[in-house]
Amino acid sequence: MYNCELISLKKNKADREALEGIMDAVSAELSSGGVALKKTSQVSPKDLSAQVFNSLCAGEADMFIIMNAVDSSGDESFRKNFYDLIGRLEARVVKDEAHKNLAPKLKISSIPDIKGSKGYCFSLCGVRFIALPESPSAPLELISEGVKKADEVFERLREQYPEGVYFTDKSGIEADPALNRSVTLTELKPQKKQGFIKSFIPLKEDSRRMKTRKIIVLIAIVAFIGALIYVLDFYIFGPMRNNAVTSEIQSIAYNKSGDDNEENGPAQDWDALKEVNEEIVGWITIPDTVVDYPVLEHTGDDRYHQYYIDRSYKKGGTEYGSIFIDYRSTDSTKSRNVIMHGHNMRDGSQFHTLLNYSHEGDLKGDLEYYREHPIVIFNTPDGDAKYKIISVFKTSTRYEHGEFFNYMQGEFNSDAEFMNFVYNTRIRSMFDIPVTVNENDQIITLSTCCYEFYEWRCVLVARKIRPGESESVDVDLAELNSSPLFPDVYYERYGNTRPDPGTFKKAYEDGKVSWYDGKGDLKGSEDLTATLAANPTDPPTEKPKPGETKPTDPPPVTYYPVTFCNYDGSQFAAYNVREGDPLPIPDGTPTLPEDDSYRYEFTGWDLNIEGVDINSINVGLNIYPNFKAIPK
């Protein structure tokens, strides 16, 4: 006779009362079939293993009937509810010399058509387990029928699987059935309900599947903690550290000695700032914004390395970086165009403020914001100065986006070139601003990242207030520019044709420039030296040595047309590449239409062109795509 424990996997009050109401009838029905009902319990699926092992250890049962174990999903619900129990039972099987390279598996069998539903059964060394389907009604008949049909299954399997176990090799192939007969088990110990730690730490007695599950959970927990630390650092602790560092240098800058003539002296304490870092060369402020930072300049910066892009003024590493002067402003703070870079930080610090003039994701200006912030202050040890904004624009730095305006030009070969540069900033501006400019002015350029297109920049340009000039701007006269000039990629996405910008001289002659107040007779070439560069990070023409005459024309540069073609010979992308520069590779993937037999996969551009050095172009090229034919 089997001693039976009846377990229900549902723990609500209605189930408990229904089960208690039929216990006498269930006990009598089981007894007639040679089964003695010794115990009933209700547990959740996660506690099933501990309940079974504790009953086995106490010798209370050698048959377990589990009610509500299988729902309408069948196999899926059975695996979910019994995954842990089966793994723990299999882990109890001792692998002696004959079994050491084999894996023990319980023989799980289905019980068809128990009151129209499917159940499951398995055994281990004489202990039987019967998993019954859910039954909203007639639980007594379900138990009776389930036990009888399970007994038929056990009898059918008795000869081949006498202990309810079989063994497989590493390939999952079942081993010699004779090995199924000699099975021993490890000693049973009571299963205590696991605490939080034991629920996630792999234990020696855990089954291989349970260890795998715990390891996966641990990896997920570690990944979650890592992500949480990153998020907290990025959004909370990082900004806190940066604010502390910024507040410290601001306190040093503005904590002046209190001399009698302090009101007429410089705004910043340059002696104190230079003691902190000799490479602090300026201080940038946009009134009534968070922009109030030291400006750094590092000797030795070039196109490949910009020291303060990821360092604070203390020279320690930080993702916030510093505001720093571009190496192409070769005369430092006295350059004709002082170019400054700063990160666009999500917490609003560094140069994120520039995106308030033209909000991120938008290609229009915020006129009200400009009217409230038309002035930039840029102070240096040589003196304090204010600058009137003349342009705010967004532009690209990528070949793939077509013609780009290289605003990173710090020095100019002639007044004509300088004014053509200013003209190019203004025709791209989101605003028409009532501030004049001429060839005697100095400008500053502030640059940060924006993301309307890949690798775009938001740029603010301002010119220095002249001696004796009022610092006020009649901002009411400022208007939104109805058609600012953008790179080709803008027109490809939004339609229309990109206009020819022309040059300053031509626009001035045609009466299209109202903001110029210079002498008008500009000497030298208008060609923008940096704009001609094939790479937007190419340095400008070298600054002349002291005493040398500045050339009026840039040195001649040769460009070669390079066309990337589609499968049919049409243009995919086209560039003018400066002689000796490497070949730019376009973004995107050309496609070849499939036919009845094949589809075609792009495998790269055909760059094996005889006699051509792809890393040093000196000839015009047509380049075609390679495709791999894949049978359907």
Q: What is the pLDDT of residues 215-273, one digit of tens each?
A: 888 888 888 888 887 777 666 776 777 788 889 999 999 986 545 445 567 899 999 99
The CATH number of residue 618's host domain is: 2.60.40.4270
Q: CB of 79 within 8 A of CB of 44?
A: no
- At 158-186, the pLDDT tens digits run 999 999 999 998 888 998 888 888 888 98
My answer on whether 430 and 317 are in the same domain is yes
Q: What pLDDT score was predicted for residue 247?
A: 92
- Mean pLDDT, residues 509-535: 79
Give domain status of residue 145, yes or no: yes
pLDDT at 444: 98
In whole angstroms, what is the distance from residue 217 CA to residue 224 CA? 10
Interatomic CA distance for residues 371 and 357, integer angstroms: 10
Residues 554, 541: contact at Cβ < 8 Å?
Answer: yes
* Residue 538 included in any domain: no
Same domain, 154 and 203: no
H or E segment at 8?
Answer: strand 2-8
**Exposure on the CB side of residue 216, measured as CA atoms within 13 A:** 6
Cα dihedral 493→498→501→507 (10° resolution): -120
> In this structure, what token pair is assigned to residue 389?
């904004």
Shared domain check, 499 and 614:
no
Q: What whole-number distance in Å separates Cα of residue 359 and Cα of residue 348?
A: 12
Q: Does 364 lie in the same domain as 466? A: yes
Contact 328, 409 (CB under 8 A): yes
- Which pLDDT value is given to residue 264? 66
What's the pLDDT score for residue 257?
A: 52
Question: Does residue 172 sit in the same domain as residue 300?
Answer: no
Q: Are 3 and 61 in contact (CB under 8 A)?
A: yes
| The pLDDT value given to residue 199 | 66
Asked if residue 118 belongs to a domain, the reply is yes
Please give the tally of structural domains in the chain: 4
For residue 73, what are the β-bridge partners? none
Domain annotation covers residue 444: yes
Domain termination residue (choose one: 170, 193, 216): 193
Least confident of 17-21, 331-335, 494-498, 543-547: 543-547
Residue type, 6: L
In a domain, 446, yes or no: yes
User: What sign has the CA pseudo-torsion 300, 301, 304, 305?
Assistant: positive
CA 556 to CA 538: how far, in whole Å? 16
Backbone angles phi, psi at 413, to 5 degrees: -80, -15
Task: Identify whether residues 482 and 618 lie together within a single domain.
Answer: no
Q: What pLDDT score does 13 carry?
A: 72
Task: Count Cβ atoms below 10 Å from residue 383 Cβ, excluding itself.
Answer: 8
Nearest to 40 by CA among 194, 25, 190: 25
Share of the chain above pLDDT 90, in %: 48
Same domain, 302 and 177: no
Instruction: Verify that 189 and 202 share a domain, yes or no.
Output: no
Rounded Cα gap, residues 406 and 535, in angstroms: 9
Backbone angles phi, psi at 401, to 5 degrees: -90, 10
> Does residue 369 fall inside a structural domain?
yes
- pLDDT value at 545 more than 60: no
- What is the strand order of the sheet 35-42 is part of? 35-42, 2-8, 63-70, 127-133, 117-124, 109-114
Domain of residue 133 covers 2-193
- 139-143: long-range pairs with CB below 8 Å, 24+: 139/18, 139/19, 139/22, 139/26, 139/67, 140/22, 140/25, 140/26, 140/29, 141/115, 142/67, 142/114, 142/115, 143/6, 143/26, 143/29, 143/30, 143/65, 143/67
Distance CA 330, CA 326 (A): 8
pLDDT in tens, 21-56: 788 898 999 999 899 999 888 888 888 998 999 899
Q: Residue 222: exposed, middle, or buried by beta-carbon count in 10 A (0-12, 13-18, 19+)?
A: exposed
Q: What percent of the chain has pLDDT over 70?
A: 88
> Is residue 546 predicted with pLDDT exceeding 70?
no
| pLDDT exceeds cutoff 60 at 392 | yes
pLDDT at 209 over 80: no
Q: Is residue 54 part of a domain?
A: yes
Looking at the fold, whether 144 and 284 belong to one and the same domain comes out as no
Q: Mind listing the pLDDT tens digit for each residue in 337-351?
A: 999 999 999 888 999
In this structure, which amino acid lies at residue 494?
Answer: Y
Whether residue 539 has pLDDT greater than 60 = no
Residue 589 has pLDDT above 70, yes or no: yes
Read off the CATH number of the domain in which 338 is found: 2.40.260.10
**Strand ranges (E), 291-405:** 292-296, 323-325, 337-341, 375-379, 386-396
Give the length of the chain.
632
Across-strand partners of 317? 311
Where is the domain boundary, 258, 293, 308? Answer: 258
Measured between alpha carbons, how far is 321 from 315 in angstroms, rounded to an integer?
Answer: 9
pLDDT given for residue 472 in this prediction: 94
398: exposed, middle or buried (Cβ count in 10 Å: 0-12, 13-18, 19+): middle
Give a yes or no: residue 529 inside a domain: no
Same structural domain, 14 and 58: yes
Statement: residue 504 has pLDDT above 70: yes
- Give the model's pLDDT for residue 509: 93
Q: Is the pTM of this model over 0.75?
A: no
Domain match, 148 and 200 both: no
CB distance 411 to 541 below 8 Å: yes
pLDDT of 355 over the 50 cut: yes
Rounded Cα distance between 230 and 244, Å, is: 19
Report the C-alpha gap between 319 and 574 in whole angstroms.
36
Based on the fold, state whether residues 425 and 494 are members of the same structural domain.
Answer: yes
- The mean pLDDT value for 541-549 works out to 43
